[in-house]
Structure 1
C-alpha cells in the first residue's frame, strides 16, 4: 500500500507514521508534503498513491486549494483539528477524517472504512470546491481584533486592503495605517469573504478592491499592483494563478 502524507507539522507526521506501525498497517511512504504548492507539484509529476493522509491547514493555505488546481484520483483521509461543522461536511462527502490528536482506535476505524469501500472514497472535485466556498461564506465576519497600544481595538473588514505575515507576525494594511492582527494568516483567511479576499501566496492575502493592475511574471506567475503597497511585492504563486483569475471573474 503506497501512501502520501500532506502535513506541515513534522511532529504530527511522525506521530501518524508511528500510529500506522502500531496498528500494523502495511504501507510504503512516498513522501511528506507540507504546502499546497508542493502537493500540487507532486501530484502533477507522480502516479497517484493508494491513500493520502491530508491535514487541512497547511503552511501556505487550506489543503482544499489543492483540489482547485488539480484532480486527485485517490482516497483521502483528513487529519484535522477543524470546526465540528466541517467534520459533518466530510461525512456527507463520504470522506473520512481523524480528529487531532489522533487516537489509535479512530485510526483503525478509518483504515477499516478505507479497506471496505475503497472505490467509494474517490474525492469529488466539484464537492470539495463547493465545500471550500461554503467554509468561507459560513464564517464571514465584519471586524478583526488588532493591537493598539497596550490593548486592542476592532478593524473593519471593509477597510482592509491586504494582510501579510512577516517574522511570525500578521500585519493588516488599510488606506491610512498598518496594524498588528492577533491571528495567523491560516486563522484569518478562512473567515474572510471568499468573493472579496484571496490568499495569493503563503504570506499574503489581498482584497479585490485593492488590486490596481496585474502583470505577467516569470515562471507562469502574476505580479500585482496594490493600493498602499509600501515595500511589499505581490506575486501570485504558480499553483494559485488559474484560481486567482477565476476569482477575479466572479
Structure 2
C-alpha cells in the first residue's frame, strides 16, 4: 500500500510513520509533504498514491483547497486536531477522520476500512481500455493568435515557452515575439507532446529546446536559463526536480 502523508508538524509526521509501520498492512510512505503548494506540485507530476493522509490546517491554508486545484482520485484519511471540519471532509474523498493525537487502534481500523472498500469496489479501469483503443495520441502542432486586427498561426516549432502572468497566459516564440493564448497552463500540458514540453512550476511550461543551461539552486531546486531570456528567475519547483531530470534524460 503506497501512501503519501501531508503534515506540517515534523513530530506528527514522524509519529504517523511510526504508527503506520506498526500496522498489520505493509505500508510504503512514498512521500511526506508539509504544504498545499508542495502537495499540488507533487501530485501533478507523480502517480496518485493508494491512500492519502491529509492534515487539514497547513501552514499555507486549509488542505481542502488541494481538491479545488486537482482531481484527487485516491481515498483520503484526514488527520487533524479539530473536529469541526468532519462534515466538509466527507464531501470529498474521505474514508475516515482521525483526531490527533492519532491512536494505533484508530489507525488500524482506518486501514482495515480502506482494504474492505477496495475489495468491495475494485473493478476494471475501463478508462484505460478506452484510451488504448483510441490509438496513438495526437498533439497540438500550431496555435492561432491575434496580431492587431489579424489572426496568424504560430507553429509549435516556433514556441520557446508558455508562462502565466496573473490570469493571462502568454506564448513566447524563439524570434522572440509574445502572444496571448486562450488556454490555461493545465490545458496546454494535455495538448502538447510531453517529450518536448515540461511544466517546471506553476507559472512556466517550457520547451526542451529553449533551455540553455540548468543550475543547482537553493532548497533542492533548479534554476533554468531560457532562450529568449526571461525577466524573472525560472525555477524548477522542488517537487518536480526528479521528474524534470527524467524528462531531460528522455525518460517520458
TM-score range, shorter chain: 0.5 to 0.7
Higher RCO (C-alpha under 8 Å, 6+ residues apart): 1
Aligned to 2:214: 214
Counterparts in 2 of 1:121 and 1:152: CA distance versus 1, 3 Å: farther
Is the alpha carbon distance of 1:234 and 1:63 closer, same or farther for their aligned partners in structure 2, counting shifts above 3 Å?
A: closer
**One of 32, 51, 75 as aligned partner of 1:74:** 51
Q: 2 CA distance for matches of 1:185 and 1:208?
A: 16
Give per-residue Cα distances to partners, 1:199-218, cap 9 Å, x unaligned: 11000011111111111111
Q: In 2, Cα distance between the equivalents of 1:65 and 1:81?
A: 10
| Distance in 2 separating the partners of 1:205 and 1:44 | 32
- 5+ unaligned residues in a row in structure 1: which ranges? 1-38, 51-57, 97-106
Q: Is the 8 A contact 1:163 1:171 kept in 2?
A: yes
SS at 1:228 equivalent: coil
Counterpart secondary structure, 2:245:
helix
RMSD: 4.6
Going from structure 1 to structure 2, the CA distance change for 1:153 and 1:240 (only over 3 Å counts) comes to same
In 2 relative to 1, CA 233–80 (structure 1 residues): closer, same or farther, beyond 3 Å? closer
Q: What's the secondary structure of 1:140's corresponding residue?
A: coil
Q: How does 1:132-171 map onto structure 2 within 5 Å?
A: 138=137, 140-150=139-149, 152-171=151-170
1:65 is the counterpart of 2:64:
no
The 3 A distance-change label for structure 1 pair 145 and 42 is farther
Q: 1:231 to 1:40 in 2, by over 3 A?
A: farther
Q: Matched residues in 1 for 2:49 and 2:172: separation?
A: 36
Paired residues of 1:59 and 1:202 also in contact (CA < 8 A): no
* Structure (1 or 2) with the larger CA radius of gyration: 2
Inter-partner Cα distance in structure 2 for 1:197 and 1:235: 15
User: What is the CA distance between 1:145 and its match in structure 2?
Assistant: 3.1
C-alpha distance after superposition, 1:147-197 (max 9, x if no partner): 322453322112111110012111111112111111111221221111111
Distance in 2 (CA, whole Å) between partners of 1:115 and 1:219 is 34
Counterpart residue number, 1:175: 174
Deviation by residue 1:134-154 (Cα, 9 ceiling, x = unmatched): 9xx735211123232245332
Question: What's the offset of the Cα at 1:42?
Answer: 4.2
Structure-1 separation of matches of 2:197 and 2:49: 25
**Which position in structure 2 is the counterpart of 1:14?**
none
TM-score, L = length of structure 2: 0.52
Work out whether residues 42 and 239 of structure 2, in 8 Å CA contact, stay in contact via their aligned partners in 1.
no
Indicate conservation of the 8 Å contact 2:45/2:243, yes or no.
no
Closer/same/farther in 2, CA of residues 190 and 64 from structure 1, 3 Å limit: farther
